[in-house]
């Protein structure tokens, strides 16, 4: 009988083979963002923000800790499955990426015609975010990596610039950013951000910078772009259980969530629709939409039993500093992660990600102004 790990790995390889042989709904899926969607770009970097060790990925096919910050699949893995595409490989695993973001493009010749993941844990929209944890790739560097993918991986594949642009214009670009700009910047006493900016001003700073970055992606060929809201960060174990280690949020802690933190985050989410509307109206043939995260996630946390969860406030894995950080290596997690909303101090479990993605697919109002299906089928 085959060892379970070997069997799971065979299943993963076979599944990916089937996906690559089918006709996907879009040509490719390109992912940029933070640890919620990082699939291994931080693995070789000098940083504390890494997840390439057990018990991470304990429920991922093959149980190999490739760098995902939960017990299994992330939301972008579910998106890839829906689109009938392979999981986008982390850019840093296909090139010898240096700490300054440059890469030896001659090392690996694999092209990214079906997608690539550029997300980097701890990093964010602002270049200084997360730097106290070590090296990571902020959004500007991730876009630079995507540019190198175009120049060295995609351009040789297509016969003409027109074919390449057609490929990019039909592909999905998924952006999950801003979470770290609060958790690893604004909420941290190590940074002066909370002293320099009130919540609306900091949100405006993030939105203005993100708008510039999305315009740069558009100039590189992106047309169909999904941008996520920021979730209720005050409900993560890292914030709800450890407010004294962060700035004085001056909110009411109801035992499950720090509402001060949630109110601060809402400033960003409230400004997103205006940015998206402006981009859509000024960039020809662009399709931008927002994937709602905050309200649904908050509802799940407030009434978890309705959604099949039994624990809404604790991490499934054993973490450093009372749920403040990531999993302690090689420690056994909770027996049934599917009953937990949070895997570690920051990140949802695979079950929580699955529920969020299914909500986008089932309920057209959870992505706006275009539904998830509309932007895929456009």
Contact 215, 283 (CB under 8 A): yes
Q: What are the start-end ranges of the H helices in 22-123? A: 75-83
What distances in angstroms separate CA 195 from CA 50, 175, 352, one per listed residue? Answer: 29, 28, 34
Q: How far is CA 297 from the centre of its chain?
A: 15
DSSP summary character for residue 55? T
Q: Can you tell me whether residue 141 is helix, strand or coil? A: helix
Instruction: Give me the catalytic one of 34, 35, 57, 171.
Output: 35
Instruction: Give me the catalytic one of 120, 258, 297, 347.
Output: 347
Q: How far is CA 128 from the centre of its chain?
A: 18
Instruction: Give me the catalytic one of 93, 180, 344, 354.
Output: 344
- HSE (CB half, 13 Å, CA atoms) of 240? 23
Tracing tokens 């510039």 back to the chain, one arrives at 212
Q: How far is CA 225 from the centre of its chain?
A: 14
Contact 346, 240 (CB under 8 A): no
Token digits for 41? Answer: 């770009």
DSSP summary character for residue 299? H
What distances in angstroms separate CA 59 from CA 55, 133, 346, 349, 351, one per listed residue? Answer: 9, 27, 18, 10, 10
- Assess whether 347 carries a catalytic annotation: yes
Dihedral sign computed on CA atoms, order 184, 103, 226, 139: positive
- Assess whether 365 carries a catalytic annotation: no
Catalytic residue list:
35, 344, 347
């Amino acid at each position: 009988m085959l060892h379970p790990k070997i069997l799971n790995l065979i299943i993963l390889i076979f599944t990916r083979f089937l996906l690559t042989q089918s006709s996907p709904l879009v040509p490719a899926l390109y992912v940029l963002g933070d640890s919620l969607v990082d699939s291994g770009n931080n693995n070789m970097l000098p940083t504390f923000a890494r997840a390439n060790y057990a018990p991470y990925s304990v429920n991922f096919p093959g149980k190999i800790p490739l760098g995902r910050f939960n017990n299994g699949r992330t939301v972008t893995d579910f998106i890839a499955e829906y689109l009938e595409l392979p999981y986008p490989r982390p850019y840093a695993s296909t090139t010898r990426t240096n700490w300054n973001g440059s890469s030896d493009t001659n090392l690996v010749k694999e092209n990214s015609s079906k997608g690539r993941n550029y997300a980097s844990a701890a990093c964010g929209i602002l270049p200084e975010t997360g730097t106290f944890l070590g090296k990571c790739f902020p959004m500007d560097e991730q876009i630079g990596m995507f540019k190198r993918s175009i120049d060295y991986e995609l351009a040789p594949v297509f016969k003409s610039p027109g074919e390449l642009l057609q490929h990019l214009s039909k592909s999905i670009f998924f952006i999950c950013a801003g979470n770290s700009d609060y958790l690893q910047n604004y909420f941290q006493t190590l940074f002066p951000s909370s002293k320099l900016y009130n919540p609306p001003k900091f949100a405006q700073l993030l939105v203005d910078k993100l708008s510039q970055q999305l315009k740069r992606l558009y100039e590189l060929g992106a047309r169909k772009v999904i941008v996520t809201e920021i979730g209720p960060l005050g409900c993560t174990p890292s914030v709800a259980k450890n407010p004294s280690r962060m700035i004085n949020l001056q909110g009411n802690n109801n035992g499950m969530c720090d509402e001060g933190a949630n109110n601060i985050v809402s400033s960003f989410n409230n400004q997103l629709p205006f940015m998206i509307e402006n981009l859509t109206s000024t960039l020809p043939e662009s399709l931008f939409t927002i994937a709602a995260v905050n309200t649904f996630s908050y509802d799940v946390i407030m009434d978890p039993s309705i959604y099949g969860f039994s624990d809404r406030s604790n991490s499934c894995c054993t973490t450093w500093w009372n749920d403040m950080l990531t999993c302690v290596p090689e420690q056994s997690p909770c027996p049934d992660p599917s009953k937990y909303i949070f895997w570690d101090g920051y990140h949802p479990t695979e079950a929580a990600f699955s529920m969020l993605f299914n909500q986008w697919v089932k309920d057209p109002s959870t992505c706006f102004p275009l539904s998830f299906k509309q932007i895929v089928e456009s």
